[in-house]
């Protein structure tokens, strides 16, 4: 039952906003109808002004929120880029250390292999 009542209110408000302004009372209208007509026009004007103000406030809030979101996105994007740059630097350092370790192992192995060969050849010459 409450739902039907809400629908009626909404449609009534929508109808009030959509109806054209009432024409001024003619000379044949009674003074009561003229007063009633002015009150309705005044109420409609107040209602329209209230809706316009609410709409302006909503648009302002949305724009403000959008601006904050854009700033937050920019800050987070910059933080991500900084982190990616740092990771890239660390990757290069690690790659360089791995390369240096490989070279040291090669040199050590070649030295070991050369020493082992000399010792092995030395034993081969002495029966």
Better-predicted residue by pLDDT, 104 or 40: 104
SS3 of residue 88 by DSSP: helix
* Domain range annotation of the chain: 35-100
Q: Are 16 and 44 in contact (CB under 8 A)?
A: yes
C-alpha to C-alpha distances, 114 to 100, 102, 111, 123, 126, nearest whole angstrom? 21, 18, 5, 14, 18
pTM attached to this predicted model: 0.46
In tens, the pLDDT along 41-86 reads: 888 889 999 999 999 999 999 999 999 999 999 999 999 999 999 9
9-17, long-range: CB < 8 A, 24+ apart: 13/47, 16/44, 16/47, 17/44, 17/47, 17/48, 17/51
Q: Are 47 and 62 in contact (CB under 8 A)?
A: no
């Amino acid at each position: 039952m409450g739902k039907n009542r809400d629908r009626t209110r909404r449609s009534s408000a929508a109808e009030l906003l959509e109806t054209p302004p009432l024409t001024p009372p003619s000379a044949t209208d009674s003074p009561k109808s003229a007063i009633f007509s002015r009150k309705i026009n005044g109420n409609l004007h107040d209602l329209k002004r209230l809706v316009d103000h609410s709409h302006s406030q909503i648009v302002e809030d949305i724009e403000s929120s959008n601006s904050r979101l854009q700033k937050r996105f920019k800050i987070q994007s910059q933080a991500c880029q900084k982190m990616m740059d740092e990771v890239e630097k660390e990757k290069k350092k690690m790659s360089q250390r791995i390369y240096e370790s490989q070279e040291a192992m090669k040199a050590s192995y070649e030295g070991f292999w050369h020493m082992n060969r000399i010792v092995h050849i030395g034993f081969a010459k002495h029966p």
